[in-house]
């Protein structure tokens, strides 16, 4: 795993770029770390949730009378126990949030919550759930973009008119909105092309597949305050959303973050928190609710299923001249698929002068989609990068050469608006091209595929507080849940800023009342934004300590300097004051030393990744095995390289699963047919080769340490990289995911029967 | 729900007679997930793993006796058994993961009666017999006759399988089991094929058993494939006939794990590949060496 040092002015870091053991590691490997389901309070009740068995139905009545009398049952809630936010004038997103947490007059997908029970034991709660009688009037359902857009489709949300179409539509629709990206002259662009390739692609909904199921504990006080423990990607967001659904001010609620066993975007929203909160308010006891895997599949996530057409033109010498695309993204039961992000990211790696990208946000009777690593981008990249691969084949050009010829660079116009600042896309292409993996000869039935991807990354709001302790060591408190090793990165940035051993820094994640506001751990933003807040807070502590040293020495602050964790007098006339000495003397210099930094992070550095995948296809069974996989991604600066590599590899692994076997399978009744890890096939370790990584470092000029986000872009290229490799191995262009053995054998059969394999 | 742990076969049959609503279990790697998924709880669970006869593996001279409640890890770890019946042991070794195999058993795999059970085609291919204990004494039944459909067996109330009998293999015999799963492990067979081949001195097939799994309500033999092999060399013609016969013998369902067309086509492929693997093992085998003094 080579680190390509692109920065010619070696910054000479002492701690950044090293790989110390993570501060939270001991607790995690010894089982002491407390995850969402591990909270246990005196008098705690156990909850269970009743979910809709139908994809679409009107709730005619709910009868809880029998359940209420059952042994151990302490409280039951239905939609009627929650405020009607429409009456309160809430916006569409909040209304959807509330109705997604618990249905009111209609259920919109199998798994939609209808009621919840708190009882002394989980078994009692589950028995009570079964005794609740719900009378449903089953309605016809739609499951795909095509079904939902059909002229006679049943409408999920009557009264919905598609936004952003001219003229304004007069009929109800399942299409919530249309988004468009447009540039140049499409006709002229295609007229200038020597080859034009157009293909239609489909992908299925896939789940984020985090190993830890959702869990929440709520403890309501008699004064109306509610304390919630849950694992999430952002406890401040959980607080706001829970308050919205319960109809109270956010500060009536305190959220303590548990350790999180994976999120990938799927733990950005609330599901159980308001249910546990209301049950606790009704029963006067703490209530815990823990999902099982079936509930996780049916009630949370997934990422959108999609249908995407891409048409790209190119000249014989490899100039891309025009791109047109139509994208339909399933939003699940409520508005809000990431189709907008898809249109903005899909061609960002390339300089297209002419384009028209039209996206549609479409509701279907499936769970409301949640973010999943670079939300929206992987499916669109699958389509674009497959077509670019085919163009490279048609004009006989190496796929990396073709990409290099058209690559976005610093200063080039991004289709979605800005001109790119310093970016490292070309460097990722070069890194792959120059790696030995790209030259290894392939055997029979083997194929190689290349693909690239782009993700914006986010900045947003972060706060951090740094305390100097009485022994001279420091505590760093952040409000960003640690999903991918961020405690370790925060400690490294603090150690570097102070010039002290990283072991002297204790990083921790504070609750919503211990530390200033923080946005979610998402958008690959935490190391960038929260890292910036940590660095600023450390700088403030340094400034304070230098002032106190000057005071001690009775000299001007300008006459002291900070060197390696201590303050020195420039003229050397006094022995240096270490942080420990300054801490010991703080009673004489103004008391304990702490500082907080709260900021809206600017200088976001977007990220590119290029990947190459080698596969072998069994021509008689359609089984695809991944032989080799190499990813090169621009990290800007790798603060803790092991966790950067971990993010690269994790994104690739999830992308390989998406490409080969993961999918929601639905029955004709609109229910999920494979809600377990047995039949929803995420890759197991033996399915994968070592995912080789190249950390490309083109420092982000907008960040004190040069950081870009690394968490998301790694999942953008794999769908296409694997598909291009399979296509190369078989001579069949695979356009429908997942490329399960059945699909691949089907394509091979069609090819041997004289078709083109598609 | 009661937990009962008899120490002898007699104690077990008595307990089962006393508790007509009881279910026996061995590894419980099927039973527990089924209960968790909402299957009604039985009156009692009867643990077979405390019965020594049901958890031992021994060479009885003419045949092996394999306790029906023996963890498959004990089979994969038995060098003599693995050397004589590599296909059977590989099939047992495919069940789940290391953790699952420290509990899972051949008896449970067979009596759970999943059409996709991995060890069953290999047991059938090797002509294994089940020794069944019950209220009326013991009886011995060919493994292939035990499952009668998905989730059902010919076992009568109060009966359970104590052990399996496996005759020693004749010289120049090899067995193989292959399955197709989309992943590399922790998955359910979409198609499985178990084969045993005995070659004659000329290298032609003297006898053959071909069994396929996951492609019909129960694992089944493919007599047409066996007939195509016997008396013939292993070559493209016989292998094509095997594949065709195996595909034709399928009576699969269309479900989330595989379409009918896919299962048919791949059953042919796997049966053919398993024949090749078994025949290669037969040609290289030292089976029976101690009986007839041959060394190969
Ligand atoms: C994670 C996981 C992965 C798995 N992977 C596979 C796989 O790859 N391939 C595969 O084939 N299976 C697989 N299984 C299923 C299961 O492990 C096997 O079927 C196993 O062989 C069952 O054995 P057991 O002893 O645990 O059965 P148990 O659960 O104890 O019993 C299963 C059934 O057989 C009955 N039974 C058990 N023993 C006897 C007996 N001696 N006489 C009469 N009836 C009996 C029980 O009453 C019950 O109905 C998997 C299971 C899990 C949990």
Residue A542: give the domain boundaries.
459-601
Q: What is the pLDDT of residue A405?
A: 98
pLDDT per residue as tens digits for the range B168-211:
999 999 999 999 999 999 999 999 999 999 999 999 999 999 99
Q: Is the CB of B160 under 6 A from ligand 1?
A: yes
Q: pLDDT tens, A189-203? A: 999 999 999 999 999
Last residue of a domain, one of A550, A568, A601: A601
**Pocket flag, ligand 1, residue B164 (CB < 6 Å):** no
Half-sphere exposure of B244 (CA within 13 A, CB side): 10
Q: pLDDT at position B285, please?
A: 83
User: Which chain A positions have a beta carbon within 8 Å of B193's beta carbon?
Assistant: none
Shared domain for A567 and A626, answered yes or no, is no
Instruction: Please tell me the predicted confidence (pLDDT) of residue B289.
Output: 44
Q: Using the 8-state DSSP alphabet, how is residue A439 labeled?
A: G
3-state secondary structure string across A312-339:
EEECCCCCEEEEEEEEEEEEECCCCCCH
Average model confidence (pLDDT) for chain A?
Answer: 96
Which fold, B56-167? 3.30.465
- Helix, strand, or coil here: B117? coil
List CB contacts (< 8 A) between A740 and chain B. 182
Task: Kindly state the average pLDDT of the residues A658-670.
Answer: 97
Strands (E), chain B: 2-4, 22-25, 44-47, 57-59, 63-67, 129-134, 137-142, 147-149, 152-153, 160-167, 173-180, 191-199, 205-213, 220-221
Tokens, residue B211: 């069994």
B199 neighbors B288 (Cβ within 8 angstroms): no
Q: What is the pLDDT of residue A4?
A: 42
**pLDDT for res A395:** 98
Return the sign of the alpha-carbon dihedral for residues A747, A751, A753, A756: positive
pLDDT at A756: 55
Flag the least confident range among A45-49, A429-433, A628-632, B37-41.
B37-41
Cβ-nearest to B184 among A621, A678, A687: A687
pLDDT at B133 over 70: yes
From the CA of B226, how far away is ligand 1's center (Å)? 29
Q: What does the pLDDT look like over A461-496, one tens digit per residue?
A: 999 999 999 999 999 999 999 999 999 999 999 999
Q: Is the pLDDT of residue B292 over 70?
A: no
- pLDDT, residue B293, reads 34
Judge whether residue A75 has pLDDT over 70: yes
Q: Treating both helix axes as pointing N-terminal to C-terminal, what angle do A377-395 and A399-406 enclose, rounded to 10 degrees? A: 110
> Do A721 and A642 fall within a single domain?
yes
* Band (A3; pLDDT cuts 50, 70, 90): very low
Q: Indicate if ligand 1 lies below 6 Å from the C-beta of B105.
A: yes
Question: Would you call A686 and B180 a contact, using CB atoms and an 8 Å cutoff?
Answer: no
Chain B residue numbers with beta carbons less than 8 Å from the beta carbon of A625 are 184
Residues A249-294: pLDDT tens digits? 999 999 999 999 999 999 999 999 999 999 999 999 999 999 999 9
- The CATH number assigned to the domain holding A576 equals 3.30.365.10
Report whether pLDDT(A441) > 80.
yes
Question: What is the reported pLDDT for A448?
Answer: 98
Interface check B256 vs A, CB under 8 A: yes
At B46, is the pLDDT very low, low, confident or very high (cuts 50, 70, 90)? very high
Residue of B nearest to A672 (CA): B256
Residue pLDDT, tens place only, A530-578? 999 999 999 999 999 999 999 999 999 999 999 999 999 999 999 999 9
Facing B183 at nearest CB: one of A622, A687, A749: A687
B186 close contact with A: CB closer than 8 A? yes
A614 and A475 within one domain? no
The residue from A560, A577, A601 where one domain ends is A601
Q: What percent of chain A has pLDDT over 90?
A: 96
- Structure-block tokens of residue A571: 């003229």
Q: Is the model more confident about A219 or about A753?
A: A219
Taking every pair of C-alpha atoms in chain B, what is the biggest distance, in angstroms? 60
Q: Which of residues 78-107 of B touch A (CB under 8 A)?
A: none
Give the pLDDT score at B287. 59
Whether A613 is covered by a domain: the verdict is yes
Cβ distance A679 to B256 less than 8 Å, yes or no, reads yes
Examine residue A140 and state whether it is found in any structural domain, yes or no: no
Identify which of A284, A243, A251, A287 has the alpha carbon closest to the alpha carbon of residue A97: A243
The residues in B 262-291 lying below 8 A from A, measured between CB atoms, are: 262, 265-266, 269-270
Residue A584, domain member (yes or no):
yes
A484 plus A588 within the same structural domain: yes
Across the interface, of A621, A661, A673, the residue whose CB is closest to B266 is A621
The residue contributing the CA closest to ligand 1 atom 2 is B96
Please say which residue of A585, A601, A617 terminates a domain.
A601
- Give this prediction's pTM: 0.96
Q: Are strands A226-230 and A253-257 parallel, antiparallel or unpaired?
A: parallel
* Whether A716 and A747 share a structural domain: yes
Residue A617 sits in the same domain as residue A543? no
Q: What pLDDT shows up at residue B286?
A: 67
Residue nearest to atom 38 of ligand 1 (CA): B108
Give the percent of chain A with pLDDT over 70. Answer: 98
Residue A5: pLDDT over 60 = no
- Contact B183/A740, CB-based, under 8 Å? no
β strands within A31-174, DSSP E? 45-51, 57-63, 73-78, 106-107, 113-119, 133-138
Q: Would A154 be classed as within a structural domain?
A: no
Residues A640, A494 share a domain: no
Cβ A741–B265 below 8 Å, yes or no? no
pLDDT for residue A241: 98
Is the same domain home to A482 and A595?
Answer: yes
The shares of helix, strand and coil residues in chain B, as percent rounded to the nearest 5, are 35, 25, 35
Structure confidence at residue B85 (pLDDT): 98
| Residue A1 pLDDT grade (very low, low, confident, very high; cuts 50, 70, 90) | very low
pLDDT above 90: residue B155:
yes
Q: Say yes or no: CB of residue B163 within 6 Å of ligand 1.
A: no
- Interface residue B190 vs chain A (CB under 8 A): yes
In a domain, A679, yes or no: yes
Instruction: Tell me how far apart the alpha carbons of residues A517 and A477 are, in angstroms, rounded to a whole number.
Output: 12
User: pLDDT band at A724, cuts 50/70/90?
Assistant: very high
**CA A405 to ligand 1 center in whole angstroms:** 58
- H/E stretch holding A567: strand A566-569
Residue ranges per domain, chain B?
56-167, 173-283
- Buried-state track A342-355, b at ≥16 Cβ within 10 A, e below 16: bbbbbbbbbbbbbb
The first and second tokens of residue A524, run together, are: 């690959």
Superfamily, domain B173-283? CO dehydrogenase flavoprotein, C-terminal domain (3.30.390.50)
pLDDT of res. A6? 42
List Cα–Cα distances, A52 to A144, A369, A385, A501, B89, in angstroms: 19, 17, 39, 55, 45
Residue A593 has pLDDT above 50, yes or no: yes
CA atoms within 13 A on the CB side of A450: 26
Residue A148 in domain: no
Cα atoms in the 13 Å half-sphere on the side-chain side of A432: 31
Number of separate domains in chain A: 2
**pLDDT at residue A88 in the model:** 86
- Tell if the CB–CB gap between A742 and B184 is shorter than 8 Å: no
């Amino acid at each position: 795993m080579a680190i390509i040092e692109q920065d010619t002015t070696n910054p000479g870091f002492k701690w950044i770029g090293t790989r110390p053991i993570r501060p939270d590691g001991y607790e995690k490997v010894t089982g002491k770390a407390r995850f969402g389901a591990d909270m246990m309070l005196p008098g705690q009740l156990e909850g269970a949730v009743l979910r809709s068995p139908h994809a679409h139905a009107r709730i005619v009545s709910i009868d809880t009378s029998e359940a209420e009398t059952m042994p151990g049952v302490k409280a039951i809630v239905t939609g009627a126990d929650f405020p009607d936010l429409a009456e309160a004038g809430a916006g569409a997103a909040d209304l959807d949030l509330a109705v997604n947490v618990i249905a009111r007059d209609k259920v919109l997908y199998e798994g939609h919550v209808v009621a919840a029970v708190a009882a002394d034991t989980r078994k009692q709660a589950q028995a009570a759930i079964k005794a609740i009688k719900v009378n449903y009037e089953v309605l016809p359902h739609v499951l795909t973009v095509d079904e939902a857009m059909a002229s006679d489709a049943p409408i999920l949300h009557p009264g919905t008119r598609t936004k952003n179409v001219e003229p304004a539509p007069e009929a109800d629709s399942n299409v919530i909105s249309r988004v468009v990206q447009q540039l140049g002259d499409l006709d002229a662009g295609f007229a200038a092309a020597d080859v034009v390739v157009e293909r239609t692609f489909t992908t299925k909904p896939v789940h984020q597949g985090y190993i830890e199921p959702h869990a929440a504990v709520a403890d309501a006080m008699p004064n109306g305050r509610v304390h919630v423990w849950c694992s999430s990607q952002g406890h401040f967001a959980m607080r706001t959303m829970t308050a919205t659904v319960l109809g109270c001010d956010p500060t009536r609620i305190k959220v303590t973050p548990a350790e999180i066993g994976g999120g990938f975007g799927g733990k950005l929203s609330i599901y159980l928190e308001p249910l546990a909160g209301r049950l606790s308010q009704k029963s006067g006891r703490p209530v815990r609710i823990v999902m099982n895997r079936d509930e996780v599949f049916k009630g949370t996530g997934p990422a959108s299923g999609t249908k995407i057409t891409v048409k790209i033109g190119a000249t014989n010498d490899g100039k891309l001249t025009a791109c047109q695309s139509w994208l339909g993204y399933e939003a699940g039961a409520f508005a809000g698929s990431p189709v907008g992000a898809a249109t903005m990211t899909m061609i960002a790696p390339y300089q297209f002068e002419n384009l028209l990208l039209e996206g549609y946000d479409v509701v279907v009777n499936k769970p409301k989609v949640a973010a999943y690593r670079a939300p929206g981008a992987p499916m669109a990249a699958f389509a674009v990068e497959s077509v670019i691969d085919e163009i490279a084949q048609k004009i006989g050009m190496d796929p990396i050469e073709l990409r290099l010829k058209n690559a976005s660079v610093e200063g080039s116009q991004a289709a979605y608006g800005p001109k790119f600042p310093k970016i490292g896309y070309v460097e990722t292409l070069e890194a792959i091209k120059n790696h030995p993996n790209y030259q290894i000869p392939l055997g029979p039935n083997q194929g190689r595929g290349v693909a690239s991807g782009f993700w914006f990354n986010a900045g947003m709001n972060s706060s951090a507080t740094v305390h100097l302790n009485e022994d001279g060591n420091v505590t760093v408190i952040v409000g960003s849940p640690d999903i991918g090793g961020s405690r370790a990165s925060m400690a490294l940035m603090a150690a570097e800023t102070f010039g002290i051993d990283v072991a002297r820094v204790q990083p921790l994640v504070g609750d919503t009342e211990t530390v200033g506001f923080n946005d979610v751990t998402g958008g690959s933003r935490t190391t960038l934004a929260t890292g910036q807040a940590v660095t600023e807070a450390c700088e403030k502590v340094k400034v304070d300590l230098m002032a106190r040293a000057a005071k001690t020495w009775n000299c001007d602050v300008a006459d002291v300097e900070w060197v390696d964790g201590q303050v020195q007098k420039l003229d050397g006339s006094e022995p240096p004051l270490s942080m420990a000495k300054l801490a010991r003397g703080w009673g004489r210099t103004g008391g304990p030393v702490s500082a907080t930094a709260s900021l809206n992070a600017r200088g976001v550095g977007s990220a590119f990744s290029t990947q190459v995948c080698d596969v072998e296809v069994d021509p008689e069974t359609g089984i695809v095995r991944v032989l080799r996989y190499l990813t090169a991604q621009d990290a800007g600066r790798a603060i803790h390289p092991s966790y950067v590599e971990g993010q690269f590899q994790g994104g690739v692994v999830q992308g390989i699963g998406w490409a080969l076997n993961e999918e929601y399978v639905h029955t004709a009744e609109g229910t999920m047919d494979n809600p377990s890890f047995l039949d929803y096939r995420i890759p197991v370790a033996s399915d994968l080769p070592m995912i080789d990584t190249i950390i490309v470092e083109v420092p982000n000029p907008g960040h004190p340490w040069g950081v870009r986000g690394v968490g998301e872009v790694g999942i953008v290229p794999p769908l296409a990289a694997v598909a291009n490799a399979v296509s190369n191995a078989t001579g069949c262009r695979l356009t429908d995911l997942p490329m399960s053995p059945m699909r691949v054998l089907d394509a091979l059969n069609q090819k041997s029967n004289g078709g083109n394999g598609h | 729900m009661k937990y009962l742990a008899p120490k002898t076969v007699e104690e077990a049959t008595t307990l089962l007679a006393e508790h007509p609503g009881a279910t026996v279990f061995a590894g419980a790697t099927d039973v527990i997930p089924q209960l968790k998924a909402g299957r009604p709880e039985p009156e009692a669970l009867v643990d077979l793993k405390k019965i020594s006869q049901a958890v031992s593996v021994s060479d009885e001279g003419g045949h092996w006796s394999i306790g029906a409640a023996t963890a498959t890890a004990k089979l994969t770890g038995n060098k003599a058994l693995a050397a004589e019946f590599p296909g059977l042991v590989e099939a047992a070794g495919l069940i789940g993961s290391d953790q699952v195999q420290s509990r899972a058993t051949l008896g449970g795999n067979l009596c759970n009666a999943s059409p996709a059970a991995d060890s069953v085609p290999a047991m059938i291919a090797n002509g294994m017999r089940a020794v069944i204990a019950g209220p009326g004494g013991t009886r011995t039944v060919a493994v292939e006759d035990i499952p009668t459909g998905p989730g059902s067996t010919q076992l009568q109330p109060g009966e359970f399988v104590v052990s399996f009998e496996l005759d020693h293999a004749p010289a120049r015999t090899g067995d193989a089991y292959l399955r197709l799963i989309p992943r590399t492990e922790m998955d359910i067979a979409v198609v499985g094929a178990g084969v045993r081949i005995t070659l004659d001195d000329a290298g032609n097939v003297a006898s053959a058993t071909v069994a396929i799994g996951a492609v019909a309500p129960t694992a089944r033999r493919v007599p047409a494939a066996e007939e195509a092999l016997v008396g013939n060399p292993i070559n493209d013609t016989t292998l094509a006939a095997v594949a065709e016969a195996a595909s034709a013998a399928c009576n699969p369902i269309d479900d989330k794990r595989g379409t009918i067309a896919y299962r048919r086509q791949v059953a042919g492929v796997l049966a053919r590949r398993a024949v090749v693997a078994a025949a290669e093992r037969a040609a290289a085998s030292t089976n029976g060496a101690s009986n007839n003094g041959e060394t190969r």
